[in-house]
Amino acid sequence: MASRSARLAVYLALSALLAGCGGGGSTTDAAPTFEPSTATPSGASAPTHSARWAVIDPDAPGELRPGRYALPAIGRRKAMLGVVDLPDGYQSWGPFVFADKPDEPDDPLALGLWAVTGIYRDACAGDDLARVWTVRGLAASLVDQANTATTDPHPVTLAGHRGLYLEITSPTRLDYSTCNDAELSYWRAGKAGDRWTRRPGTVDRLWILDVGGRPLVWTLAVPPSATRRQVERLTNIAEAVRLVADPPA
């Protein structure tokens, strides 16, 4: 398995490569019904849009001092930032925040913010996208996705935005070597990259939020090795997220 730093390099290279690539198939989904710290990552000069937080710099991974940080939305240049307050024990990696423990070099306990544009119809095949434009359509496509187990979506409100909450679990009885690139691919975010995993039993917790009429997905990835305390700690951070404009008004 590649190390975490190596996978960061792969992520950045993939982002550049995908910038010149198109998507897969498409569908049309239904309309939905529905203080402060100036800490910066150690060893990094993360750019800030506000003196009230440091924006995570995808090009400068490393340990994060306790403070307030903003995660940029993957897949959209101008979107919302997910602002969280972090104690000790967290690092940045690409556009993500992950926990020091459990020490998972490939599938860490992590937070991410995604501007999802397409769901792979079969996570193992990873080659046919269902385009999604609404909260309801995104959730329905994940429920219908082959080779994953997904909970029934239920209404949720987070950071003042209504949406749907669900969880995706990667299968434990699947030969991942038979899948495209020996991994499961869940979704694509514009031309920036995919959410994928090679770890059986990983649970992705998703808050699919209606932000300005478009879905924005706040995610908490939980590897099987994470303890209840570790998960509770990061869940509390995740559920206290603020979504702010990038750049803020």
As beta bridge partners, residue 86 has 67
Per-residue pLDDT at 27: 35
- The string of DSSP letters for 191-206 reads TTEEEEE--TT-EEEE
The pLDDT of residue 50: 54
The total number of structural domains in the chain stands at: 1
Give pTM, 2 decimals: 0.80
pLDDT score at 166: 98
Residue 8 has phi, psi (to 5 degrees) of -65, -45
Domain that holds residue 155: 4-245
- pLDDT mean by block of 10 residues, the chain; 249 residues: 34 32 34 29 36 87 95 82 96 94 92 96 96 97 98 98 98 96 95 91 98 95 97 98 77
Contacts for 75 with CB less than 8 Å, ≥ 6 apart = 114, 115, 116, 117, 188, 189, 190, 191, 192, 193
Rounded Cα distance, 185 and 167, in Å: 15
Question: What integer pLDDT is reported at residue 58 of this predicted model?
Answer: 87
DSSP, res 121 = S
Q: In what order do the strands lie in the sheet with 80-86?
A: 54-55, 67-72, 80-86, 242-245
